[in-house]
Structure 1
């Protein structure tokens, strides 16, 4: 089968389309015929070798974690799905024609494979960081870098909980954020002054999604480093802020994603799709930022 791998750390161009043996599920795993794979910022950082202390991989390595597709094999002990079921979930090296999933959930009615592939990591991350930063209904939350996949999920989930969200994004994505339920503003110069004008009663917590060097500004706005959390700036801890990157309840997040989708509360649109052979272009596009939703690779 065809799979995307990298044989050395480096830029997107190190990704290659290789012929590899098909995988088969072990106990508690399933195999899917992959239909779509979501592109995450973490994929690029691991491929570039920036996170070797946390995510050291054996080379050559596959890439991708979020996938949707059709179950075609089930491992021992798996009783909740059968071949032919449409699922979305998490595995390792899923950017391939067939992939093993360690955690999965049925795709809700009406959700496309492309959209489903964009939900796992963003929704798990959104649920986790909202809980970890401790923002409550009636409070105001700043989300820096709010228009990407994780930001899109954070804004909608927080708004549904009765939290006022101020989201930063580029000029082109201001109306997109407004449509999600956020109070939008741009990033850059005079950020603190703009946020204070929008939140005269103060900002109770702040999430840094994009890693754009905003931790000091977030701390200034909240007045409390413990109420600031980043998923992208691993130096945040040096300022007393929180850093979060480890999933805590992936299965629960998948089920919650399906429930929120079914209730019409959560939508993470697909902004751009790429074919399997263009995986390097997909990762490069995603890493450039400025997205309104998700970048997804479609597998034939």
Structure 2
């Protein structure tokens, strides 16, 4: 099989396509002929040799990636043979190996993919989608809310903005640059370019916002927090900028804001936990309630995918696909 591997930590070009032995499923496992592999910003952190949250840098050499979709083509001992030929998607958890033409995983990680859901969309649902749904279920918005969504042209921000519009909220979708803001035009909310000076003043002049969905952090997250009306909510679920959004007692006591970082444990406490979120996110895509924004790259061009993701050039969820050309 072909797989992307790296033997050293460093820039995107450490990712190389190699020919590796076919995988064999062990007892309780299946082998997936992978059609789509999810690329996460966390993958770029690990590639550089830095710890990614609970994930330490991998032992080298390694095949990155933890989200795969495709067709089961072999099963290990004790696994029902009817799995062979079924369209599935899985999150591999703590063990990488997704950037490859084959992946093995336990039966318990599998979710069936309906025929009318593409493999790239299924990948977007099983990882990014489950996080988006956790935010939506734990920090819902609705009519009367004005919601600022940071990095709305990213895979997660796109789903959050889409959900907020569907819930009847007044949405301000924020992204950087002409191409990324143009991609948000059909979401149904107002679009702002936070790469332009004064973008925050324009939001403040419209009365500020009641909720911020923040997966960026850093200086941008702080600017967004300052746009909250008294009693507003700042919902943090990531910090792509490299550091969480700063806040202090003045924000909480004097402005009455709800600010915090506790979504992970709260998501795990939901019915069926993280797997339940993945299942419900996939169901939303299947029902047409969510339209993931996806940019695909051929598996062999994983280095370019990483470079575009780090350079904020890729739109939506980044996915590697088996063969073919990249497309949006």
Q: Shorter-chain TM-score: what band?
A: 0.7 to 0.9
1:254 matched to which residue of 2? 278
Q: Distance in 2 between matches of 1:204 and 1:80?
A: 52
2:46 matched to which residue of 1? 46
- Is 2:141 the partner of 1:136? yes
Aligned length: 296
- Is 2:282 the partner of 1:281? no
1:64 matched to which residue of 2? 65
1:121 matched to which residue of 2? 127
> Who wins on radius of gyration, i.e. which is larger?
2
1:1-300 equivalence runs, <5 A: 1-26=1-26, 29-51=29-51, 54-56=54-56, 57-75=58-76, 82-91=83-92, 92-102=96-106, 103-132=109-138, 134-138=139-143, 139-169=145-175, 170-188=177-195, 189-198=197-206, 200=207, 202-211=208-217, 213-222=219-228, 223=230, 227-232=234-239, 233=241, 235-236=243-244, 238-239=246-247, 241-243=259-261, 246=264, 248=268, 249-271=273-295, 273-300=296-323
Query: Could you say if the C-alpha distance between residues 53 and 152 of structure 1 is closer, same or farther in structure 2, counting changes exceeding 3 Å?
Result: closer
- CA offset at residue 95 of structure 1? 0.7
Query: Could you say if the C-alpha distance between residues 75 and 195 of structure 1 is closer, same or farther in structure 2, counting changes exceeding 3 Å?
Result: farther
Q: Distance in 2 between matches of 1:295 and 1:4?
A: 15
With the length of structure 2 as denominator, give the TM-score of the two structures: 0.79
Gaps in structure 2 of 5+ consecutive residues: 249-258, 324-328
- CA offset at residue 175 of structure 1? 4.0
- Decide which moves more: 236-245 or 103-112: 236-245
With the length of structure 1 as denominator, give the TM-score of the two structures: 0.86
Does the Cα contact within 8 Å between 2:31 and 2:103 map onto a contact in 1? yes
- CA offset at residue 254 of structure 1? 2.9
- CA offset at residue 90 of structure 1? 1.1
Where does structure 1 differ by over 6 angstroms across 4 or more consecutive aligned residues? none
Q: Distance in 1 between matches of 2:6 and 2:82?
A: 32
